[in-house]
Chain A
Amino acid sequence: MPAVSKGDGMRGLAVFISDIRNCKSKEAEIKRINKELANIRSKFKGDKALDGYSKKKYVCKLLFIFLLGHDIDFGHMEAVNLLSSNKYTEKQIGYLFISVLVNSNSELIRLINNAIKNDLSSRNPTFMCLALHCIANVGSREMAEAFAGEIPRILVAGDTMDSVKQSAALCLLRLYKASPDLVLMGEWTSRVVHLLNDQHMGVVTAAISLITCLSSKNPDEFKTCVSLAVSRLSRIVSSASTDLQDYTYYFVPAPWLSCKLLRLLQCYPPPEDGAVKGRLVECLETILNKAQEPPKSKKVQHSNAKNAILFEAISLIIHYDSEPNLLVRACNQLGQFLQHRETNLRYLALESMCTLASSEFSHEAVKTHIETVINALKTERDVSVRQRAADLLYAMCDRSNAKQIVAEMLSYLETADYSIREEMVLKVAILAEKYAVDYSWYVDTILNLIRIAGDYVSEEVWYRVIQIVINRDDVQGYAAKTVFEALQAPACHENMVKVGGYILGEFGNLIAGDPRSSPLVQFNLLHSKFHLCSVPTRALLLSAYIKFINLFPETKATIQEVLRSDSQIRNSDVELQQRAVEYLKLSSIASTDVLATVLEEMPPFPERESSILAKLKKKKGPGAVSVELEDGKERGELNGGGDRGGDAAIAASNASTPSPSADLLGLRSAAPVSGTAPSAGSLLVDVFSEAGPAASSAGVNDDGFLSSAPPSAASEDPAPPLPESDELLNKFVCKNNGVLFENQLLQIGIKSEYRQNLGRMYLFYGNKTSVQFVSFSTIVSCPGELQSQLNVQTKTVEPLVEGGAQVQQVINIECLTDFIDAPLLNIKFRYGGALQNISLKLPVTINKFFQPTEMAAADFFQRWKQLSQPQQEAQKIFKASHGMDTEVLKAKLLGLGTALLENVDPNPENYVCAGVIQTKAQQVGCLLRLEPNAQAQMYRLTLRSSKDTVSQRVCDLLAEQF
């Protein structure tokens, strides 16, 4: 038993450990431990005071028992007692016990802090280090409160021993990480930075970690560290391999310190001072040169230490991304490593080259290694190396090599590890789309993907191919032909059936001329797959069938037969049953014209960026995907490509009420066909933008990057008003309160009141998510001539809206003169990093400024006659779109703001109203007559006022209300 014999050993402890090791079973071990616990407990409780040695021994045994995985609920007090021993070994065991077992038992913490305090002021460097290590290991807030003021003093005091300085620096770092508010560097900043000049390399090594952390949080305050770091680095790099003695590791001078210095420099942009920059570039060149020199030792430690510095230097070069010469040299160096016999180096070279590929200066240089990388993908034994090779191929892909890379990735997919297949599929899909010159290649690639790795092809991928086929007529015939062929395979993936069903349903006619793919052949082929498919796919196929009936009337009988069969029309799945019933009915009663309209070819999808990209980024995490850096400008308006109503034609016909589970494309709701992407964020949008710009902006950041996602390069112009905003406006003509707008993220409620020509509106913005909205801002604007008609003032809102919270905004409105348009409300905020940009019309309409006017019948008719010039009257005759219930009509007319005059119109069925519109410039009297015709379900609405524009506007507004 070698250890027992050594030096100071606590014999009792060694015996106990041996006993435990000799236990043959878990039960025996527990028995032995319980015996020991009982023994220790009795010793601690015994009358006889224990000496320091015994106390140390028992506390150490307790610690050992704890480390074996057993709970320890006593001994803390004895451990704390050991802290005040003046013997190092006793103190050390006490501190160790506390560091390992500490919980925030506040009473104990007070005692511990007291002991630490004594040791810190003991001027005994060994005790000081023990105390500092304890703080560094525990790092609790109580400790920060007690010592955050003292430790900086110890760190910079002239008479502090070097080893204590090292511990103090890192101790402070720990406290700063845990409680940054308690560590105030202010007056110490400059002296801490100057520790970079310390003679003792160990002090520099420790202090630089602290400085790096502080610099990344407060770069400006610490920027003097740049020149100091450069000169320190320069001295190390240019030293001979023996100069630094203790700090030379396998002939490499101070490798860890060099790495830390290079890392610190990555907190900053390139030095502005020409001399400093020159010196730094010289260092980087020297490091690159040394990589080419013959090794001073054959040991792997030598080359690892040397290459650790080299890789860190390359990181800095990439971080600067401004020295083409260095970037290309770095790339060449990594190129050599790609073929190195050390797996580690090949791995790291692939990884590092990935970031080089995104620099414009080195992209071409990286591309020259394509064959080597492809070879790595095929032959590396370690899957993580193959993964890096795939990443690099993706990063180096551009138009010139896309076909080669996609082909290689596809062929790799056939044998790829399951763990990376899904990601590979996404990458292939993205590259194929991004670099597709002819879309038949794109279609082939995606269908191949489905064939090779169908299980890993997510919805995003096959939605996307359909979107693209629908949007590009030049590829539709080819796509139909290709899916038709692919479906011939006896076993084809369900995703292939989905794509096939959709595409043949839309474009099967393009290949129907060939008797080998006649309509019936197509139908039979699809239907042969039907029974093996899941419910959503079957639902999709049923929709394809009804489309066939429209495309090919000759298939009608066959398909109706299928729909009519019990397995469809009485299917236990409600969605399938409903589709079968409705499609059957539709095909039997609708005329061919109606059928053709309802089942028309899908309109093109609005162009937007691929949702596949979002998915990949989600998988890889922020900064991991570099290819699409160049596309950053498009990010603001991204929308999940798949969120639009693939089923729109069907939904529009009201022939089916799609349930979420069985929607044709798995889509929740049919968005407006107008093509304006709703700004409401789908999940995909959020995920995507969260990724933010990739690695090249590596500069300054803090730990919590989730909360401080860097702004994406989105367009910040207000979005055009939502297409439905006119409709929303109409909702509020006759009411002042309600919900103006709602999507998955945001709800906007509204309350308003008007008096004379003034109005006040309260907007309530509710965050429906559990995540806060940041950069929340709203702008109310009056477009065009409205500017001179309305005076609108708003208070700004708080830029943060917590999850689940609501903020209020008050808008004051003054009506200067009559108006037609409505003010625009633009709302912008970031949700999980994604810019949301919504524009709505504020429901401020001219009728809001009505003052009701009561008058008798005689007065009414007299005024009515006075307003008899043709332009003073506006009239509309329109069909009722709602019920003609008297009470509802009255409520609406009152809501309009006018007085409803009873017993004025000789016909009791009619309604007449009167009011004065108050504007700053003038008052406009207004009379109204509404004549319902219940039999014809029609209304005649007549408005007369002293101003033609007012008559017309009120008439238009009101006509939409019935």
Chain B
Amino acid sequence: LVATGVGAKTYRRIRFILIQNRAGKTRLAKWYMQFDDDEKQKLIEEVHAVVTVRDAKHTNFVEFRNFKIIYRRYAGLYFCICVDVTDNNLAYLEGIHNFVEVLNEYFHNVCELDLVFNFYKVYTVVDEMFLAGEIRETSQTKVLKQLLMLQSLE
């Protein structure tokens, strides 16, 4: 991560998105950088260790290697986005929330099990909203309309 993760000042992007539960089980891992499988596993464990020890009064940001993790906890799930240190914390924090609201609407009161059983659909939601490490679409209306259209294609 250190060697490959050198970020520019103006061009920044998401390095990965992780959804984990408190026990450390991964519910979604979306990578926007090349990592081999061992490295991915290590990152997953590190993120879990860094994020779960923080209490609610702490910030939603935590330094992570050469990057930072913007995270928010929803019930038993941690939604984490890893970005460059100079990137906009609050924009990603709300990016997470926007994503969660879409999931909530799409799965009608989303719960952890929805993400387990419909893991292949969660990837579609992610790709609608984030692509190539960038924010692709922010309008919940537009994303949901698209998702419903896809749902209808059988």
A92-B124, A385-B59 are known contacts. Are A267 and B138 too (CB-CB below 8 A)? Answer: no
Chain A 230-246 interface mask (CB, 8 Å, partner B; 1/0): 00000000000000011
A17-B116, A17-B117 are known contacts. Are A382 and B90 too (CB-CB below 8 A)? Answer: no
Complex CA gap A8/B12 in Å reads 38
A305-B90, A384-B63 are known contacts. Are A701 and B8 too (CB-CB below 8 A)? Answer: yes
Give the segment of A61-69, A653-661, A815-823, A935-943 that binds chain B: A61-69
Contacts of A84 in B (CB 8 A): none
A304 sits at the interface (CB 8 A): yes
- Chain A 698-715 interface residues, beta-carbon cutoff 8 Å to B: 698-706
- Chain A 121-163 interface residues, beta-carbon cutoff 8 Å to B: 126, 133, 136-137, 139, 163
A7-B151, A209-B135, A311-B88 are known contacts. Are A304 and B94 too (CB-CB below 8 A)? Answer: yes
Decide: A96 and B123 in contact? CB cutoff 8 A. Answer: yes
Complex CA gap A17/B116 in Å reads 8
Give the segment of B15-23, B73-81, B126-134 that binds chain A: B126-134
Shortest distance between the CB of B91 and any CB in chain A (Å) = 4
A7-B151, A8-B154, A256-B95 are known contacts. Are A171 and B132 too (CB-CB below 8 A)? Answer: yes
Shortest distance between the CB of B123 and any CB in chain A (Å) = 6
Contacts of B154 in A (CB 8 A): 8, 87-89
A343 sits at the interface (CB 8 A): yes
Contacts of B7 in A (CB 8 A): 703
Partner of B136 from A9, A170, A212, A701 at Cβ < 8 Å: A170
A111 sits at the interface (CB 8 A): no
Partner of B120 from A87, A92, A257, A312 at Cβ < 8 Å: A92
Shortest distance between the CB of B148 and any CB in chain A (Å) = 11
Contacts of B26 in A (CB 8 A): 67
B35 sits at the interface (CB 8 A): no
Complex CA gap A136/B130 in Å reads 11
Partner of A209 from B94, B134, B151 at Cβ < 8 Å: B134
B142 sits at the interface (CB 8 A): yes
A515 sits at the interface (CB 8 A): no
Contacts of A516 in B (CB 8 A): none
Complex CA gap A347/B9 in Å reads 20
B58 sits at the interface (CB 8 A): yes
Partner of B90 from A267, A311, A701 at Cβ < 8 Å: A311
A344-B90, A347-B61 are known contacts. Are A267 and B10 too (CB-CB below 8 A)? Answer: yes
Chain B 77-103 interface mask (CB, 8 Å, partner A; 1/0): 000000000001111011101100000
Partner of B142 from A60, A246, A256 at Cβ < 8 Å: A246
Shortest distance between the CB of A719 and any CB in chain B (Å) = 31
Complex CA gap A96/B54 in Å reads 34
A304-B90, A705-B8 are known contacts. Are A384 and B111 too (CB-CB below 8 A)? Answer: no
Contacts of A704 in B (CB 8 A): 6
Contacts of A382 in B (CB 8 A): 54, 57-59
Complex CA gap A167/B131 in Å reads 7
Decide: B10 and A174 in contact? CB cutoff 8 A. Answer: no
Partner of B61 from A257, A263, A384 at Cβ < 8 Å: A384
- Chain A 282-333 interface residues, beta-carbon cutoff 8 Å to B: 301, 304-305, 307-308, 311-312
Decide: B142 and A343 in contact? CB cutoff 8 A. Answer: no
Contacts of A215 in B (CB 8 A): 10
Complex CA gap A7/B148 in Å reads 11
Contacts of A93 in B (CB 8 A): 120
Give the segment of A112-120, A200-208, A908-916 that binds chain B: A200-208
Decide: B142 and A212 in contact? CB cutoff 8 A. Answer: no
Contacts of B57 in A (CB 8 A): 343, 381-382
Complex CA gap A365/B136 in Å reads 38
Complex CA gap A166/B8 in Å reads 23
B52 sits at the interface (CB 8 A): no
Contacts of B123 in A (CB 8 A): 96, 99-100
Contacts of A247 in B (CB 8 A): 138-139
A64-B119, A255-B91, A259-B91 are known contacts. Are A202 and B139 too (CB-CB below 8 A)? Answer: yes
- Size range of the interface on B? 35 or more
Contacts of B60 in A (CB 8 A): 344
B104 sits at the interface (CB 8 A): no
Contacts of B97 in A (CB 8 A): 301
Shortest distance between the CB of B27 and any CB in chain A (Å) = 10
Contacts of B153 in A (CB 8 A): 87-89, 126
- Chain A 459-512 interface residues, beta-carbon cutoff 8 Å to B: none
Q: Which residue of chain B lies nearest to A210 when distances are taken between CB atoms in the complex?
A: B134
- Chain A 195-237 interface residues, beta-carbon cutoff 8 Å to B: 201-202, 205-206, 209, 212-213, 215-216
Complex CA gap A7/B66 in Å reads 43
Contacts of B13 in A (CB 8 A): 209
Complex CA gap A301/B138 in Å reads 14
Decide: A96 and B120 in contact? CB cutoff 8 A. Answer: yes
Decide: B119 and A67 in contact? CB cutoff 8 A. Answer: yes
Complex CA gap A133/B118 in Å reads 19
Complex CA gap A623/B84 in Å reads 14
B137 sits at the interface (CB 8 A): yes
Shortest distance between the CB of A916 and any CB in chain B (Å) = 62
Decide: A308 and B113 in contact? CB cutoff 8 A. Answer: no
Decide: A703 and B90 in contact? CB cutoff 8 A. Answer: no
Shortest distance between the CB of A593 and any CB in chain B (Å) = 58
Partner of B91 from A17, A92, A308, A384 at Cβ < 8 Å: A308
Decide: B11 and A703 in contact? CB cutoff 8 A. Answer: yes
Decide: B131 and A206 in contact? CB cutoff 8 A. Answer: yes
The residue among A3, A14, A88 with the most chain B CB atoms within 10 A of its own CB is A3
A882 sits at the interface (CB 8 A): no
Shortest distance between the CB of B64 and any CB in chain A (Å) = 11
A21 sits at the interface (CB 8 A): yes
Complex CA gap A623/B113 in Å reads 44
- Chain B 42-77 interface residues, beta-carbon cutoff 8 Å to A: 54, 57-63, 66
A246-B141, A247-B138, A259-B88 are known contacts. Are A216 and B113 too (CB-CB below 8 A)? Answer: no
Decide: B90 and A308 in contact? CB cutoff 8 A. Answer: yes
Complex CA gap A370/B76 in Å reads 39
A64-B119, A88-B153, A205-B138 are known contacts. Are A307 and B8 too (CB-CB below 8 A)? Answer: no
A701-B9, A701-B10 are known contacts. Are A206 and B137 too (CB-CB below 8 A)? Answer: yes
Decide: A698 and B10 in contact? CB cutoff 8 A. Answer: yes
Complex CA gap A288/B110 in Å reads 37
Decide: B117 and A384 in contact? CB cutoff 8 A. Answer: no
A7-B151, A255-B94, A257-B138 are known contacts. Are A216 and B11 too (CB-CB below 8 A)? Answer: yes
| Residue contacts A-B, CB under 8 angstroms, 8 given | A1-B117, A64-B119, A88-B153, A205-B136, A246-B142, A263-B88, A304-B93, A702-B8
**Apart from the given pairs A170-B136, A263-B88, A311-B88, 18 other A-B contacts in the complex at a CB distance below 8 Å:** A2-B111, A7-B151, A67-B29, A93-B120, A137-B127, A139-B132, A170-B134, A205-B137, A206-B135, A209-B134, A209-B135, A216-B11, A245-B141, A256-B95, A256-B135, A308-B88, A312-B91, A699-B10
Instruction: Give residues in A with beta carbon < 8 Å to B.
Output: 1-4, 6-9, 14, 17, 21, 60, 63-64, 67, 69, 87-89, 92-93, 96, 99-100, 126, 133, 136-137, 139, 163, 166-167, 170-171, 173-174, 177, 201-202, 205-206, 209, 212-213, 215-216, 245-247, 249, 254-257, 259-260, 263-264, 266-267, 301, 304-305, 307-308, 311-312, 343-344, 347-348, 381-382, 384-385, 621, 623, 698-706
